[in-house]
């Protein structure tokens, strides 16, 4: 009898209080035993299908395992039982919003998180998640404000500083980003490869290349040799001019992620910058498939090759307008190699290109917002940069010609008269930066207030070619250096390229960075000093601009000062000033020759 009773008691299921189960599971989760924690949470949910805490924490485990859809299903099933967001359900909905963010349902995550910060404004976790979500939405100013609130509420939590540093990096506030990222490392993020990666890229944009290399190399170790980490190391090595090492890292990145066109594009860029043209062309083609060169057009016809001599071929623009002007030097070769050529370009360049390439049909680009064609009057197509492999396989293949763009002669004559009315030359056009000023691109430009030596040249008439809103900079430079920089309010330097080409042709010299101004003047054959950082792909490892022989490259390493570069420009301006003829005309005897 007693034996039977013992057997019956042994078979009876043991009831464990739900609070004890949850506490046990949370302890397992904290100590890293995710499998046991998951099993325990599921045990709770078997008896209580929509228990709020178990759902919340099991959802986090699933999200960490990248089972995002399963996590969302869990939260959505429990949501009606939990009810609307309140202080009591804060943790549940905060985790739910974080899962929505990881599922790229960013608007839904933002909406939920904004409701939560209204309910619990002193909970740093929700401000952290809101900052992350706004960062993913690229609303960086709002993201920074949210993350600063998280930092204020939890100043000793390292990831708050790390995410804030990343956001500030995106905003171009590089020095502030550095402070936040270093603070994150001090507060426990020293083993986080993402923090070291952002800090390394941040230092690279500040021009601290040696330090940047140390940081991205450390991130490579922490990331276990990931493809992205190899690519980051390759970028820094490329900027240092250590091309063989750079190429090796890009090849490792590609082997780790063969489908990533960005890595292939970087490899092509590095090979071009090193002057290894024949090796560069294949990976460079990957850069037009969602990489450095943008996205290939949906033309639905075969890509043109030199075998297609009896074809009507579309050649279309890529990248920025400066690169478009440079690559247009290949168009005469294409015209000579195909039955008919259609050149699609930025609409601002149509008159200039039509005059320069009269045997081609020139028109503004005709694709819609999805890059699908709205015209189909061609049987072959090719991106402008892809012509390089066919017509410039080596540096020796670049023609020795002074210009390839043709301005309107009547407008040139009008500008010569207009300039002469101001006073005798020489006339020097100036530009000092690009219109687009990201943190990284700012590293490529001088500031106008550094141009004292250039403006000191006697008898020179300076002409503004800077094509954005720069009047405050011009007035400040005029006041500081006692010069006059000529400009005409009616001239649209941003959009009227035909008029700008005529004005530029009437000048004796142009001093500019590697932007649309220097590309245009070089293509027109106007003596040009192009100032910038070393190892751009346009130089093709030659230290000059083989596309446009009238351009002199004055370059420096990003971690060097601009003094030597500005001295070259100053010498060029002094040269044209000294070559002024009695009648006011000016020439550059023997051209310019300079290096850093």
pLDDT at 29: 76
Q: How open is the CA angle 59-64-70, to the nearest 5 degrees?
A: 45
d(CA 539, CA 546): 7
d(CA 189, CA 199): 12
Question: CB atoms < 10 A from the CB of 263, how many?
Answer: 28
Q: Which phi and psi angles does 374 have, rounded to 5°?
A: -100, -10
Q: Can you list the residues of the chain whose pLDDT is less than 50?
A: 1-14, 579-596
pLDDT at 2: 43
> In the CATH hierarchy, which top-level class contains the domain 296-393?
alpha beta
Domain 409-578 fold:
Rossmann fold (3.40.50)
pLDDT at 442: 63
pLDDT at 7: 44
Segment 339-346 long-range contacts (CB within 8 Å, at least 24 positions apart): 339/309, 339/310, 339/311, 339/312, 340/311, 340/312, 340/313, 341/312, 341/313, 341/315, 342/312, 342/313, 342/314, 342/315, 342/377, 342/378, 343/315, 344/314, 344/315, 344/316, 344/317, 345/317, 346/317, 346/321
Q: Express each pLDDT in 303-315 by its tens digit.
A: 999 999 999 999 9
pLDDT at 226: 97
Residue spans of the domains in the chain: they are 201-294, 296-393, 409-578
d(CA 286, CA 279): 13
SS3 (DSSP) at 580: strand
The secondary structure of 17-31, three-state, reads: CHHHHHHHHHHHHHC
Per the structure block, which two tokens stand in for 465? 């070619």
pLDDT at 47: 79
d(CA 117, CA 97): 12
d(CA 218, CA 430): 42
Examine domains 296-393 and 409-578 and report if their fold is the same: yes
Per the structure block, which two tokens stand in for 226? 């990931």
Rg of the chain, C-alpha, whole Å: 31
pTM here is: 0.84
* CATH number, domain 201-294, options 3.40.640.10, 3.40.50.720, 1.25.40.10, 3.30.230.10: 1.25.40.10
Q: Which phi and psi angles does 146 have, rounded to 5°?
A: -65, -45
């Amino acid at each position: 009898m007693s034996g039977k009773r013992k057997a019956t008691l042994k078979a009876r299921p043991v009831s464990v209080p739900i609070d004890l189960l949850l506490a046990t599971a949370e302890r397992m989760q904290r100590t890293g035993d995710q499998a046991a924690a998951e099993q325990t949470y599921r045990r709770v949910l078997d008896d209580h299908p929509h228990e709020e805490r178990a759902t919340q924490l099991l959802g986090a485990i699933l999200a960490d395992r990248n089972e995002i859809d399963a996590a969302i299903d869990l939260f959505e099933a429990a949501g009606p039982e939990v009810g609307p967001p309140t202080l009591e359900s804060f943790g549940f909905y905060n985790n739910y919003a974080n899962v929505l963010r990881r599922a790229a349902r960013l608007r839904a995550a933002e909406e939920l998180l904004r409701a939560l910060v209204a309910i619990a404004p002193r909970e740093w976790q929700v401000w952290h998640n809101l900052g992350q979500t706004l960062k993913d939405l690229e609303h960086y100013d709002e993201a920074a404000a949210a993350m600063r609130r998280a930092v204020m509420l939890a100043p000793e939590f390292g990831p708050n500083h790390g995410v804030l540093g990343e956001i500030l990096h995106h905003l171009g506030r590089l020095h502030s980003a550095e402070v936040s990222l270093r603070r994150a490392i001090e507060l426990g993020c020293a083993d986080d490869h993402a923090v070291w990666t952002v800090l390394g890229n941040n230092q690279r944009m500040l021009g601290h290349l040696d330090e940047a290399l140390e940081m991205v190399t450390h991130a490579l170790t922490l990331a276990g040799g990931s493809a992205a980490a190899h690519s980051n190391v390759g970028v820094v090595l490329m900027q240092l001019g250590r091309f063989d090492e750079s190429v090796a890292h890009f090849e490792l990145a590609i082997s780790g992620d063969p489908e990533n066109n960005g890595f292939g594009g970087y490899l092509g860029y590095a090979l071009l910058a090193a002057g290894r043209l024949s090796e560069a062309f294949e990976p460079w083609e990957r850069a037009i498939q969602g990489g450095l060169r943008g996205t290939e057009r949906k033309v639905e016809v075969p890509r043109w090759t030199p075998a297609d001599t009896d074809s009507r071929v579309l050649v279309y623009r890529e990248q920025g307008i400066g690169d478009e002007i440079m690559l247009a030097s290949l168009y005469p070769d294409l015209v000579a190699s195909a039955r008919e050529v259609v050149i699609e370009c930025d609409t601002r360049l149509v008159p200039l290109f039509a005059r320069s390439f009269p045997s081609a049909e020139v028109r503004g680009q005709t694709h819609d917002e999805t890059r699908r064609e709205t015209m189909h009057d061609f049987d072959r197509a090719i991106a402008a940069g892809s012509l390089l492999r066919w017509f410039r396989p080596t540096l020796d293949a670049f023609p020795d010609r002074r210009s390839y763009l043709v301005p309107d002669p009547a407008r040139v004559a009008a500008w010569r008269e207009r300039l002469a009315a101001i006073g005798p030359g020489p006339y020097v056009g100036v530009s000092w930066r690009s219109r687009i000023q990201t943190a990284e691109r700012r590293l490529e430009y001088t500031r106008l207030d550094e141009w004292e030596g250039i403006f000191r040249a006697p008898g020179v008439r300076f002409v503004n070619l800077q094509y954005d809103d720069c009047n405050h900079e011009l007035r400040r430079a005029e006041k500081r250096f006692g010069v006059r920089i000529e400009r005409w309010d009616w001239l649209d330097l941003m959009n009227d390229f035909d008029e700008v080409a005529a004005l530029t042709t009437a000048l004796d010299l142009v001093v500019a960075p590697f932007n649309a101004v220097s590309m245009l003047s070089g293509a027109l054959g106007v003596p040009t000093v192009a100032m910038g950082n070393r190892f751009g792909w346009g130089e093709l490892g030659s230290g000059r601009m083989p596309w446009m022989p009238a351009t002199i490259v004055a370059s420096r390493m990003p971690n060097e000062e601009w003094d030597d570069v500005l001295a070259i420009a100053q010498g060029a301006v002094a040269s044209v000033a000294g070559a002024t003829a009695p009648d006011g005309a000016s020439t550059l005897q023997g051209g310019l020759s300079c290096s850093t």
